[in-house]
Homo-oligomer: A and B are copies of this chain.
Amino acid sequence: MGVQKTIGVVLFDGFELLDVFGPLEMFGLLPEKFDINLLAENEGVVKSAQGPKSVIDYSLKESREYDILFVPGGMGVRTEINNQFLLGWLSERAQTSEFVTSVCTGSALLAKAGVLDGRRATTNKRAFNWVVSQSDKVDWIREARWVEDGNIFTSSGVSAGMDMSLALISRILGEDVSEQVAIWAEYDWHRNPNWDPFAKLQS
């Protein structure tokens, strides 16, 4: 079986549904390899930007560690960008996590928390300028499906999180495994991180 990695999925009201559940489908198809934990500042329920509500497994206030930090985007980021508790938690945990990942505008939170200082990163193309304005210490890449810089994986908007997640599965378990996951999910995986027609459409 090998080691199972824990994923800490950082949720908040107004998270984007597919940012979260696209990637969790991919990781979730390998239950012996990945242990999924939904987190939020407080226990209870969080409401997505699209309406459906999810149940939190653990509060961020518990002193649990996660191998993989996962930060989605969504309209709620516009509020959380001023949440000093959350930013502090991200800054601290990013130092001890094996991998740090974001989808869509989730990278704005990582940037504001200083996690992306001196790193290459990308984000949603419709919100690109707003995200970039959160930190001038990041090497923002406008045209990319996702960006890998060492142990940090950041993706473009919404659907791009699925491609990034398969790339992370490739890094950890090899490309044969991510190919199998994509077939199980009947997903037409974009394997090229530089494929990004949306950068041009949205600018």
Chain A interfacial positions (CB closer than 8 Å to B): 16-18, 20-22, 24-25, 27-29, 31, 36, 38, 45, 48-55, 124-126, 156-160, 162, 183-188, 190, 197-198, 201-202
Contact = CB atoms under 8 A, between A and B. Distances in A.
A49 B38 CA distance: 15
Binding site secondary structure of chain A: mixed
28 contacts: A17-B21, A17-B25, A18-B22, A18-B185, A21-B22, A21-B52, A24-B50, A24-B52, A25-B50, A25-B158, A36-B51, A38-B52, A38-B53, A52-B55, A53-B54, A53-B55, A54-B55, A55-B55, A124-B186, A125-B186, A157-B184, A157-B185, A158-B184, A159-B162, A159-B185, A159-B186, A183-B198, A188-B197
Give the copy number.
Answer: 2
Contacts of A31: 50-51
Q: Name the residue among A17, A20, A125 with the largest chain B CB count within 10 angstroms.
A: A17
Nearest to A182: B159
B22 A22 contact: yes
Nearest to A155: B186
Contacts of A29: 50
Given A18-B185, A185-B157, A186-B156, A28 B50 contact: yes
Given A126-B184, A157-B185, A55 B50 contact: no
A187 to B, nearest CB: 4
Contact of A186 (B36, B49, B158, B186): B158
